[in-house]
């Protein structure tokens, strides 16, 4: 944890670093502005970047992957160093690590920049962006998931929705390259501990002087998908329901949702667990259950 504190508190004016071999993925699709901006920033910094990402938007798919043994998945080169995968973010990571970069393993896997924040436990577990990074960590690779927040008052902005998010992809890319340089300086041999990924969230319109903060995942649901009856009929025989994005809990002091709302970039080390022990009355007795002979 000491090295991670060094990372988030260090100046963004990092020194020169060796070029890295990077696998870049996301859940918004290979053509999304966030991943294309990250690709430009990383290659401009001198890194060798191979983009392997879903063919279409796979947001909210979490860690889903294709388990249809014996089936084939379309994987196509769409541009120099860029590949599309007809599957999920986790599928894309496996295609990249196990086939495309099999003979030239990457130094790190980066997922993003995502279109929208991935804060708190629920979002982190539902997010395809975060779970792509976790998939890489499970396979033994250092990984970073990076997301740029949405301002929901910009939902109907013209001529383009969420202009602040689009404008922040560039600064997020520069932040990402600076973080990589800091990680290299702190640990040239391995950028992150085995099995660990970083979940990074950048507020829309972020100002670098606001800085970064190390933060645990919030227990609050920062943004929730809420199902309700809309304008179309719905009765006892069924019908169609409308899905709304509802901005919910604001977190607790010091967690990622709270600090994000204060304008900080949040950095959360994750390993796929909630990392919380909650006492459950009666559970100890239940664990002693033995079936009758």
Lowest-confidence region among 39-48, 173-182, 280-289: 280-289
Segment 46-64 shows an average pLDDT of 94
DSSP string, the chain: -HHHHHHHHS-S--------EEEEE-SS-TT-HHHHHHHHHHHHTT-EEEEEEESS--TT-TT-----TT----EEEEETTEEEESS-HHHHHHHIIIIITTTS--SEEEEEEEES---HHHHHHH-HHHHHHHHHHHTT--EEEEEE---GGGTT-SSSS-HHHHHHHHHHHHHHHHHHHHHHHH-SS-SS-TT-EEEEEE-TT--GGG-EEE-PPPSS-SEEEEEEEEEEEEETTEEEEEEEEEE-----TTSHHHHHHTTPEEEEEE-SS-------TTHHHHTT-----
Output 244 or 3, whichever has higher pLDDT. 244
Model confidence band, residue 274 (pLDDT cutoffs 50, 70, 90): low
Where do we find the tokens 């995968």?
A: 85
Segment 43-58 shows an average pLDDT of 96
Taking only the tens place, the pLDDT of each residue in 196-220 is: 899 999 999 998 888 899 999 988 7
Fold assignment, 2-219+251-286: Stationary-phase Survival Protein Sure Homolog; Chain: A, (3.40.1210)
Please give the model's pTM, rounded to 2 decimal places: 0.86
Residue 56 pLDDT greater than 90, yes or no: yes
Taking only the tens place, the pLDDT of each residue in 177-193 is: 999 999 998 887 888 98
Output 245 or 141, whichever has higher pLDDT. 141
pLDDT attached to residue 285: 65
pLDDT attached to residue 241: 87
pLDDT averaged over every residue in the chain: 87
DSSP string, 192-206: S-TT-EEEEEE-TT-
Taking only the tens place, the pLDDT of each residue in 148-158 is: 999 988 878 88
Residue 13 pLDDT greater than 60, yes or no: no
């Amino acid at each position: 944890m000491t090295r991670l504190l060094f990372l988030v508190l260090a100046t963004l004016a990092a020194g020169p670093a060796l070029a890295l071999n990077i696998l870049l993925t996301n859940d918004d699709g290979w053509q999304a502005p966030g991943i294309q901006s990250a690709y430009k920033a990383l290659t401009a910094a001198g890194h060798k970047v191979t983009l392997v990402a879903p063919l279409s938007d796979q947001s909210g798919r979490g860690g889903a992957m294709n388990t249809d043994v014996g089936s084939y998945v379309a994987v196509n080169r769409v541009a120099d160093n860029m590949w599309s995968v007809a599957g999920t973010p986790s599928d894309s990571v496996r295609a990249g690590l196990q086939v495309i970069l099999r003979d030239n393993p990457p130094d790190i896997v980066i997922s993003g920049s995502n279109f929208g924040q991935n804060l708190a436990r629920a979002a982190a577990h539902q997010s395809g962006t975060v779970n792509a990074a976790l998939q890489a960590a499970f396979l033994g690779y250092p990984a970073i998931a990076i997301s740029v927040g949405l301002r929901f008052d910009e939902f109907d902005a013209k001529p383009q929705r969420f202009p602040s998010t689009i404008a922040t992809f560039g600064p997020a890319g520069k932040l990402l390259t600076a973080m990589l340089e800091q990680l290299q300086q702190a640990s040239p041999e391995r950028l992150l501990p085995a099995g660990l990924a970083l979940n990074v969230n950048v507020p829309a319109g972020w100002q670098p002087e606001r800085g970064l903060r190390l933060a645990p995942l919030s227990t609050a649901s920062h943004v929730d998908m809420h199902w309700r009856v809309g304008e179309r009929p719905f009765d006892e025989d069924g019908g169609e329901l409308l899905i709304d994005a509802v901005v919910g809990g604001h977190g607790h002091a010091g967690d990622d949702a709270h600090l994000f709302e204060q304008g900080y970039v949040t950095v959360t080390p994750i390993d796929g667990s909630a990392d919380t022990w909650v006492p459950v009355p009666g559970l100890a007795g239940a664990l002693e259950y033995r079936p009758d002979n």
